[in-house]
Amino acid sequence: MTRRERLRAETTREITAIALAQLAEDGPGAISLRGIAREMGMTPRAIYSYFATRDELITALTGGIATDLADTLEAARDAVPTADTGGRLLAWALATRAWALANPQGFRLFFGDPVPGYQPPEDGPVERASRRICGGLTRLVADAWPLAGRHQPADVSWSDFPPAFFARLQDEDGAEIPPAAAALALRVWGRMHGLVALEIHGHIGAVVHDPAALYRTDMLDLIGSLGLTPPD
């Protein structure tokens, strides 16, 4: 690592740090190249040596944030014994909400609309994190399938999904995942997401005092409906 590379890495880190602060403070729309440059004592144009455009900066931020979320969810899941699928699902869900409350603007950036006219690239860290989240949840639901599958509709086939999604799930070692389990997993995802999204955007706080309890109740109900016993 040459001196130049070290400096470059350091500056890049400083730029993203300031941008993250702007994001956390005033939301995605407040991320400003000129603001960052001002805070760093640089010419606005100097940032362009590190990010070719503002959207590229935002893409990098989103990637980091999404990766952080995926890490958090996987860590929460893995803190619960493999055998306790219900507990792992609950941990996943509660970690989702906790992360969202800790990073509300990051939640908006990743799950909502980042910035007008912005289109994320097809295969960056954002996509990869998205796949980790979707795939991780699907595998959890697949673990619950022996019980959860009993009351699920059987008319689902892998042709209902894009081939890439299928491939991604199956090439993990061994276990076959039934297509109906994948469909169920997406519905579970939606259910875990809904209340959190409403809360983050201020639609729940005005109407109930303890959103945490509400969410927990719903997640316990969800786990029960999958035929799993919630952990103690």
- Interface positions with its own copies (CB under 8 A): 26-30, 108, 111-113, 115-117, 130, 134, 153, 160-162, 165, 182-183, 186-187, 189-198, 201, 203-204, 206-210, 214-215, 217-218, 221, 225
Dihedral angle over CA of 188, 129, 198, 205, nearest 10: 110
Using the minimum distance from each CB to DNA, give the nearer residue, 46 or 147: 46
Distances 189 to 32, 118, 193, 213, 230 between C-alpha atoms, Å: 33, 25, 6, 19, 18
Rounded to an integer, what distance in angstroms lies between the CA atom of residue 85 and that of residue 80? 8
Q: Residue 208's binding partner, choosing from its own copies, DNA, none, with beta-carbon cut-off 5 to 8 A by kind?
A: its own copies
Query: Please, what is the minimum distance in Å from the beta carbon of residue 20 to its own copies?
Result: 15
Using the minimum distance from each CB to DNA, give the nearer residue, 28 or 106: 28
Rounded to an integer, what distance in angstroms lies between the CA atom of residue 188 and that of residue 92? 11
Q: Which residues contact 138 (CB under 8 A, 6 or more apart)?
A: 169, 177, 181, 182, 185, 186
Query: Please, what is the minimum distance in Å from the beta carbon of residue 232 to its own copies?
Result: 17
Using the minimum distance from each CB to DNA, give the nearer residue, 34 or 187: 34
Q: Which residues contact 189 (CB under 8 A, 6 or more apart)?
A: 134, 137
Give the footprint of DNA on this chain (CB under 7 A): 2-5, 7-8, 11, 31-35, 38, 41-46, 48-50, 53-55
Query: With contact defined as beta carbons under 8 Å apart, do 63 and 19 qualify?
Result: no
Q: Residue 174's binding partner, choosing from DNA, its own copies, none, with beta-carbon cut-off 5 to 8 A by kind?
A: none
Query: Please, what is the minimum distance in Å from the beta carbon of residue 71 to its own copies?
Result: 18
